[in-house]
Structure formats: C-alpha cells, structure tokens
Amino acid sequence: MKLTDKVAVVTGAASGMGKQIAILYAREGAKVVVSDLNIDGANQTVEEIKGAGGTAFAIQTNVADEADIQTLIDATVEKYGTVDILVNNAGIMDNFEPIGDIEDEKWDRVFAVNTKSVMRATRKVLPIFLAKQQGIIVNIASAGGLYGARAGAAYTASKHAVVGLTKNTAFMYAEQGIRCNAIAPGAVETNISSTMTNINQFGISRQQLGMAINPRTGSANEIAKVALFLGSDDSSFVNGTVVSADAGWSAY
C-alpha cells in the first residue's frame, strides 16, 4: 500500500472527487480525516471507509471560516498525532457570470471557499510539516485555472490563484521536504453544479463553445487516482506542477 500509516486530511470529502480521494487514500493505508460542511455526507464516507477495513473520522468544516480550519487541523493532530498529507478539494462554482455581471458578494464567496481556504489550511499545516521536514499538499485546481472560458470570471480567477499559490508554495518550501502540486480536472461527474443557483445565460453561452471539443466527462475516481500519485512517494520528484486530467480537452 502506498500510504501506510500516513495521516491525510481531505476537504470537501462528503461527495464527488473528495469522497473518492478519501476512500482511495484509506484503501492505500492512510488514516483519513473526512472534512465537509455536509456532516451527514462526511459520515457516510467514513462508514464506507470503515466498512472496507480502513480508518477515518468525519468533521464538519466550513472552509470559508478560519476558526473551522483551525479546528480541523487541531482535531486531526489530537486524534492521529500529526498530518502528512493535505488535500484542498472543497470548492464551489460561480454562475458563469462574466465580469460585467459579477456582484461583490458572489466574488467574495467564491474566493473564500476556493482560494482563501487553500491558503489558510496550508498555512495551518505548515508548522507541522516544517517540524518534521516532510509533508505533501495536493490542491484541486481546475481546467478553469489554466484557461479563460471553462466557467465564469470569479471561478476562473479563483482557480488561477490556486495554481499560482501551488507553485509559490512548492518553490518556497522545496528545500524543507515539502511538496505542493495541483490537479486541473476537466469536466467531471460530481455534484458541484448544485452550488450554481441562477445561471448567467450570456456567460454560459460563451463557455459552451469550448464544450464542443471536450472528448468526454471523467469520473471522480479517475481524479482520485491522480491524487494518489501526487500524495505518495511515486511522485517524489514532482513539485510545483499542475497535472491536467481532462481526457485531452486542453490539447486542442
């Protein structure tokens, strides 16, 4: 097993990519902290992990709340003694608004969940990683963090920021045994669309032009396999990299 005795924190792990990452990490020997705002869903993920013989516990976390981030990591250390891997997966969509239609409240909300939470969680685990000169961070970015028309302006900007934060963190701490990489999924079957409430028709009409060249939709399990690679020693020489997982969508 690739993650024997490692302690992994996975945010947004009640469903979708986060759930599959948590399950796969546990299957590979990690003790997993299943973090999500949806505590019922998080508990279900834990039940699946334990049912398969794995080790995990659930904790309710609003990643947009600094106090919740502090509690998440503190509870992990109290339960398992340390943190070895942090997977910043929690995220929300915008409503495909172009910049002319953005409202400040929506912009701030998207950045709080998608970007600020990544900074805060990474900042919180960093002293733990530095103390042992070892640690891995896997950020879930997006094809929208590499290109301009996979979502609206707020989501696109937030995920571009995650990519920049990933690269900066990787370089800054590369000599302290800390690795930080990101995954840029393309279209994946998850319930993130449930975070959209009032689709901007102009914005989505522009975005849909590129959907015509999307080879296919991926599964959350396919992204989990990439996260396993980045979270294990198999990727020991990979740092500051964004792995596109989009079936070739961005190759056009």
Q: What is d(CA 49, CA 33) in angstroms, rounded to the nearest whole number?
A: 11
User: Is-catalytic flag, 25?
Assistant: no
Q: Please provide the distance, in angstroms rounded to a whole number, between the alpha carbons at the two ends of the chain.
A: 36
Question: What is the torsional sign of CA 36, 85, 173, 238?
Answer: negative
| H-only helix segments in the chain | 16-27, 39-51, 66-80, 104-111, 117-132, 153-172, 201-211, 220-231
Instruction: Say how many CA atoms lie within 13 Å of 51 toward its Cβ.
Output: 7
Of 25, 80, 155, 173, the active-site residue reads: 155
Asked if 217 contacts 189 with a C-beta cutoff of 8 angstroms, the reply is: yes
Using CA atoms, how far apart are residues 217 and 229, in angstroms rounded to an integer? 21
> Which of 101, 97, 73, 95 lies closest to 7 in space, CA to CA?
73
Axis-axis angle for helices 104-111, 153-172 (nearest 10) = 30
**Residues designated catalytic:** 155
